[in-house]
Amino acid sequence: MKILAALLVTFVACAAARAQSQSTALVVQDRVPLRAAARDSAQQQAVLWQGDALEIRGSRADYFQVYDHRRERAGFVRATQVRVIALAPEQAPDLLAIVRFLRDTPGSEALGIGYVAAYLKAAPAEAIGAEPFDALGTMADRLARRASANTDKTRGEIIAAHLEVVASYGVAIQSFEREERMQLCYDGDAFRRVLALGASDVEKARAALGLTRPECVDPALTPHDRADLDTWRAEVLDRVPRANLPEYVKNRLRIRSAAVWSSIAFERARRGEVAIDAAERALHELAGVDKRELAESDAAAYDDAAVRVGASRWAAEPVRAQATSGLAVVTSPGQPGETCIALVDKKHGAAAPLIRRCTFGIVWPASASANASGSALALAVQPLDGWREMWIFRRGNDGWRIDTAPPAADASELGYIEFAGWVPGGRKILAAREARIAGRLVKRFEILDLDTLAVEKHADAPASLSLFYRWQDAAWKRQTVSLR
């Protein structure tokens, strides 16, 4: 009942007014002046915003005499700028009807949350179900997203005022810095109540999606806390029955689950635990997305989830035996948290490798692929969740060296690059690359020069590059998610 008590705190003082046959009013406009007297020329005491709750103590001409408990100020407001509400059980259905209307009205979140609080005060406890909390969570989540995306100073003032209004009802909006900007997120209290009450499957799906938004994961979490959070997110998503949901809602759950399970696979692999089941679940969820029913607004989330799954997909592949006559990699523990990679061949074992390097990233030995001449080997190394690099071991005139090909040269937190095949002759390598750069997904299939790793040619599809189409690796084509 904690959230219920928090939401009603603004109406406690108004309850006493009801006992004296007085009423409560909600401000329905922005920038409403609270004046010292019942005339337009009177001094302005404060500026009120939609959703503010006022106690009505009388009327004069076309003004109400009110008291604002949030600001602890008395004054007068025009009657046309507020709506009088009765906090009586028989009025609860009417209040809920207004909540239903405002729930899906962008820009009216503060007013809608004010009506939710009024409904919870008026309705008998036994009549309160999941619907008002679903509406509350939906509006609070949308307000937080609008605040995060807003860049207009004028709109910013209004949104900031609305955030203060909803905070007065006990709605907690968290904030933290992400990608050099402030990210605001609803803490999800109402969504948790939706899952605990007898909600419909659609309401449960909305709640689960609201509670598991990837942009609302605090970047300051420790790896241990992040792993616990992702496990909880997966459990929340699994609690939603999917059978009777609309297909586009099923797609949203699959997309979110794919992203979460790819993170779990990475975290388990980093701890040295078996990650095959988590990686396979991520691939299964991604493959289950029906692209014909994919909402346009979900396209970016689908691509982001695919990149995350692509970055961790090697966790689903068991380590296969490598050729003993050619190049291979052998891994061993280094300093705490490190994995050391040794390049070996028939003449050079792990004790005296061709070259050796250690990394704090996850090394995927199953990804190792050597060219036919034994002069180069490609290996997948994943230093971060959602970020996988390709390491190229190659022999030059001055011996062996290791070069790293990142998913993107520019700053990005999401992407992967992977080996896609060797071009006969030993001087070219095929690669597939996906990365989110400046908010846009870039996907390319490339022919790289082995000596410099410079891109010689690239295209949006393998069929557009004759060399790529002809020499792409069969195992890569079968396993990659870039051809989705």
pLDDT 10s digits, 273-328: 999 999 999 999 999 999 999 999 999 999 999 999 999 999 998 877 665 558 99
pTM assigned to the model: 0.90
Q: Is residue 484 situated within a structural domain?
A: no
Q: Which domain holds residue 27?
A: 1-170
Domain boundary among 148, 170, 192: 170
For residues 199 and 437, give the distance between their C-alpha atoms in angstroms, rounded to a whole number: 39
Please check whether residue 127 is in contact with residue 92, taking contact to mean a CB–CB distance below 8 angstroms. Answer: yes
Q: For every one of its 484 residues, what pLDDT tens digit does the chain have, with 9 covering 90 and above?
A: 455 555 544 554 444 444 333 589 999 999 999 999 999 999 999 999 999 999 999 999 999 999 999 999 999 999 999 999 999 999 999 999 999 999 999 999 999 999 999 999 999 999 999 999 999 999 999 999 999 988 787 788 999 999 999 999 999 999 988 777 889 999 999 999 999 998 999 999 999 999 999 999 998 999 999 999 999 999 999 999 999 999 999 999 999 999 999 999 999 999 999 999 999 999 999 999 999 999 999 999 999 999 999 999 999 988 776 655 589 999 999 999 999 999 999 999 999 999 999 999 999 999 999 999 999 999 999 999 999 999 999 998 899 999 999 999 876 779 999 999 999 987 899 999 999 988 889 999 999 999 999 999 999 999 999 999 999 999 999 999 999 8
Return the CATH number at 61.
2.30.30.40
Q: Is residue 406 situated within a structural domain?
A: yes
The secondary structure element, H or E, covering residue 475 is: helix 474-479
Domain boundary among 145, 170, 195: 170
First to last CA, the chain: 46
Joined tokens for residue 376 = 């180069």
- pLDDT on residue 18: 43
How many domains does the chain fold into?
2
Q: Is residue 175 situated within a structural domain?
A: no
Q: Is residue 352 situated within a structural domain?
A: yes
- pLDDT on residue 410: 78
Q: Is residue 474 situated within a structural domain?
A: yes
For residues 168 and 431, give the distance between their C-alpha atoms in angstroms, rounded to a whole number: 54
For residues 309 and 419, give the distance between their C-alpha atoms in angstroms, rounded to a whole number: 16
For residues 110 and 116, give the distance between their C-alpha atoms in angstroms, rounded to a whole number: 10
Q: Is residue 251 situated within a structural domain?
A: no
- pLDDT on residue 322: 61
Query: 88, 85, 92, 75: which is closest to 28 by C-alpha?
Result: 85
Q: Kindly give, in sequence order, each residue whose CB lies less than 8 Å from that of residue 409, ignoring residues fewer than 6 positions away.
A: none
Q: Is residue 285 situated within a structural domain?
A: no
Domain boundary among 170, 188, 212: 170
Please check whether residue 136 is in contact with residue 147, taking contact to mean a CB–CB distance below 8 angstroms. Answer: no
Q: Is residue 19 situated within a structural domain?
A: yes
Query: 324, 333, 322, 416: which is closest to 367 by C-alpha?
Result: 322
For residues 85 and 98, give the distance between their C-alpha atoms in angstroms, rounded to a whole number: 11
pLDDT 10s digits, 11-50: 544 444 443 335 899 999 999 999 999 999 999 999 999 9
Query: 390, 369, 479, 471: which is closest to 433 by C-alpha?
Result: 390
Q: Beta-carbon neighbour count of residue 218 at 10 Å?
A: 14
Joined tokens for residue 455 = 């891109």
In one letter, which amino acid is 45? Q
